[in-house]
Structure 1
């Protein structure tokens, strides 16, 4: 029997991984990789990639729920194929998923479809809400993260664009957009 590896993920930096990590330890995971990244794609999720590369035939990767691993059925299917090609099983602590069995694989696929459907519905509702708020004159978009007055003040003091960007925690291109004469940006 191979090793048990855990993978924990939350979507935003203000969410906590503690509960997932505790459940994975309770499931017998010797190594747990965690990250705070969006689950809409596996792109850029280095801890997951490290775990997949590290695991060997006979090992098992454990997650608490399938939505911690992938949100789209395409990403989930690709991940499962990758794991299966390496002889690595996938299990979930809160769902009856074990890719070592036919029933577990079928359940995993169904959950993936439902997760993708739920994400699509949530996005649709969000867009409907934004459209309604815009129509009512309530929605103004997100607040500006750049204060053009501060940018101009620093420039007037002789501070260069790179230093302005650094001091204000914004991108250099944003500084140039603020400083560009009207109609040239």
Structure 2
């Protein structure tokens, strides 16, 4: 008896916003009928560095899907790391008689055995190449945006540190202790330096420029 063709939804969840429940609901709202047992999800997997066949659940698809079945994904970028990877995965399933469909835009890459006309195959392959290239471009843009964000954060942090000036060699408690000993006039600068483990220059700064020393502590939150 020939098994009834099934639709298998593959979900790759890489962020907190991309829950498997959300992607399943989105697929059903788009009109796809999916049984709960036919939802395959990989969690915390990077699509940039890990091929589908190397993912824990992604490997199951190669055994689970049979000719006549449909592999459903939110978008083609769920299936691979880059243009060549996505293209190879879809072509592999198409040759096995499995159609690949996307929830977004309802793109469908039909199985080879259903495309007897060479023109149909050429059209499918052209669309596949275009969609996969878009996925790769999007992934590259996101990667560059992350790099730019990191660079901006580092630059801002460096600027903030430069604006605050050099970090004081003394904390608030030591600053107060030095001021107290200076007021009593019972210790020399060298003696105060030895007592507080500060340099003579630091003690002199607290003595001669107390407002500047106080401001430095405030800038550094000390």
TM class, shorter-length? 0.5 to 0.7
Q: Matched residue of 2:71: which SS?
A: strand
Aligned length: 140
1:86 is aligned to 2:96: yes
Q: Which residue of 2 aligns with 1:126?
A: 146
Q: Which residue of 1 aligns with 2:51?
A: 42
TM-score w.r.t. the length of structure 2 is: 0.54
Contact 1:130 1:139 in 2 (8 A): no
Q: Which has the higher helix share?
A: 2
Contact 1:71 1:112 in 2 (8 A): no
Q: Matched residue of 1:2: which SS?
A: coil
Gaps of 5+ in 1: 141-185
1:106 is aligned to 2:126: yes
Q: Matched residue of 2:34: which SS?
A: coil
User: CA–CA distance in 2 between the matches of 1:14 and 1:113?
Assistant: 24
Report the alpha carbon displacement of residue 130 of structure 1 after superposing the two structures with TM.
Answer: 3.2
Report the alpha carbon displacement of residue 93 of structure 1 after superposing the two structures with TM.
Answer: 2.0
User: CA–CA distance in 1 between the matches of 2:15 and 2:160?
Assistant: 24
Q: Which residue of 1 aligns with 2:72?
A: 62
Report the alpha carbon displacement of residue 68 of structure 1 after superposing the two structures with TM.
Answer: 2.5
Contact 2:77 2:136 in 1 (8 A): no
Q: CA RMSD in A?
A: 2.7
Contact 2:83 2:129 in 1 (8 A): yes
Q: Matched residue of 2:57: which SS?
A: helix
1:52 is aligned to 2:62: yes
User: CA–CA distance in 2 between the matches of 1:121 and 1:77?
Assistant: 19
User: CA–CA distance in 2 between the matches of 1:47 and 1:139?
Assistant: 45
Report the alpha carbon displacement of residue 56 of structure 1 after superposing the two structures with TM.
Answer: 0.7
Contact 2:23 2:74 in 1 (8 A): yes
Contact 2:51 2:81 in 1 (8 A): no
Q: Matched residue of 1:46: which SS?
A: coil
Moved over 6 A (4+): none
Report the alpha carbon displacement of residue 139 of structure 1 after superposing the two structures with TM.
Answer: 9.6
1:21 is aligned to 2:31: no
Report the alpha carbon displacement of residue 135 of structure 1 after superposing the two structures with TM.
Answer: 4.4
